[in-house]
Copies of this chain bind each other. A is one copy, B any other.
């Protein structure tokens, strides 16, 4: 038996209304840097400098702002240790891990099919 996409979509709720919370959160996590930062944190805790290096091309400003947004959304945890020099670690929250369980299959599929989607010129 085949379940149609339309049936599944029913349960997605009203994403098309402007300003609805779902749209706001989608904008955060589906943003260019949002995805990459979340992805980087998927294999565990990372320090600021590690994220800066791992997420290639991100600027300090964007890393800071992305992390603050994801933290406010409750998806990322920030832990700062009172040491000199300072050490700050970022990790997914439980909510963040739930999210990534759904996001990873999507990213995997894209990674596997990117060559098919955009023909190699």
Contacts and interface: CB of A to CB of B under 8 A. Distances in A.
Interface residues of A, number: 62
A107 to B, nearest CB: 5
Interface in A3-59: 5-6, 8-9, 11-13, 15-18, 20-27, 29-32, 35-36, 39-40, 42-44, 54-57
A36 B115 CA distance: 23
A24 B114 contact: yes
A106 interface: yes
Nearest to A100: B5
A63 interface: no
Contact of A12 (B31, B92, B107): B107
Contacts of A55: 16
Given A5-B100, A9-B43, A12-B108, A118 B32 contact: no
Given A9-B42, A110-B29, A111-B15, A95 B73 contact: no
A103 to B, nearest CB: 6
9 contacts: A12-B104, A12-B111, A13-B111, A16-B39, A26-B35, A73-B117, A95-B116, A95-B117, A98-B113
